[in-house]
Amino acid sequence: MPAPREGPHVNVSRSLALLAALASVAYTGVAASAAPFARERAMPAIRELSFASLRGNYLGPIAPGTPISIYVHVQGRHEEQLAAFVAAIDTPGSPDFGHYLTPQQFGAYFGAAPGEYAQALATLRAAGFTIDKLVANRTDIVAHAPAAVVERFFGSPIDQRSERGRSFFTMRYTPVYPAGLHAEEVSGLETYVRFHSHARRTAHTIESWTPQDLAAGYDLNPLYASGLDGKGVTIANATSGAAEPGDLALFQKHFGLPSAQLISVPIGGPLTKAGNSESSLDVDSALSVAREATFEQVVAYNAYNNDFDRMYSYIVNDLGSSVHVVTTSWGVCEREMEATPAALKLQEGLFAQAAAEGQWWFSASGDNGTDDCDDGGTALSVDFPGSSPYVMSVGGTDVRPTLSGGAVTGWAAETTWQYSNSDGASGGGKSILYKKPAYQNKLTPADGVRDVPDVAALADPDNDGLYVADDGALQSGWGGTSDAAPQWAAVLAIVEQRYGGKIVTDPHVRLYALAATSRYHSLFHDILHGNNGVPLGDDMYYPNLSFRGYNAGAGFDLTTGLGSYIGAALVESY
DSSP string, 364-406: E--SBTTBTT-S--SS-B-EETTTSTTEEEEEEEEEEEEEETT
Q: What pLDDT, on the 0 to 100 scale, is given for residue 499?
A: 98
**Inter-residue contact 525 to 458 (CB < 8 Å):** no
Spell out the per-residue pLDDT of the chain, length 574, in tens: 333 332 323 233 333 333 333 333 332 222 222 333 444 555 666 789 999 999 999 999 999 999 999 999 999 999 999 999 999 999 989 999 999 999 999 999 999 999 999 999 999 999 999 999 999 999 999 999 999 999 999 999 999 999 989 999 999 999 999 999 999 999 999 999 999 999 999 877 788 999 999 999 999 999 999 999 999 999 999 999 999 999 999 999 999 999 999 999 999 999 988 779 999 999 999 999 999 999 999 999 999 989 999 999 999 999 999 999 999 999 999 999 998 888 899 999 999 999 999 999 999 999 999 999 988 766 899 999 999 999 999 999 999 999 998 889 999 999 999 998 668 999 999 999 999 999 999 999 999 999 999 999 999 998 889 999 999 999 999 999 999 999 999 999 999 999 999 999 999 999 999 999 999 999 999 999 999 998 865 444 434 445 789 999 999 999 999 999 999 999 999 9
Nearest to 527 by CA among 414, 439, 398: 414
Q: How far apart are CA 229 and CA 289, in angstroms?
A: 7
- SS3 of 333-375: EHHHHHCCHHHHHHHHHHHHHHHHHCCEEEEECCCECCECCCC
Q: How far apart are CA 94 and CA 84, in angstroms?
A: 12
Nearest to 218 by CA among 478, 43, 442, 412: 412
Q: What pLDDT, on the 0 to 100 scale, is given for residue 38?
A: 44
Nearest to 123 by CA among 72, 62, 79: 72
Q: What pLDDT, on the 0 to 100 scale, is given for residue 43?
A: 62
Half-sphere exposure in the Cβ direction for 406 (13 Å, CA): 4
Q: What pLDDT, on the 0 to 100 scale, is given for residue 23?
A: 36
Alpha helices in 440-545 (DSSP H): 481-498, 507-515, 520-523
Domains of the chain: 5-187 (no CATH), 196-573 (3.40.50.200)
Q: How far apart are CA 151 and CA 40, in angstroms?
A: 16
Nearest to 525 by CA among 482, 550, 557, 495: 557
Q: How far apart are CA 150 and CA 128, in angstroms?
A: 9
**508, exposed or middle or buried, with CB in 10 Å at 0-12, 13-18, 19+?**
buried
The DSSP call for residue 72 is E
Question: CA angle, corner 164, sides to 162 and 170, nearest 5?
Answer: 30
The reply to whether the predicted model has a pTM over 0.75 is yes
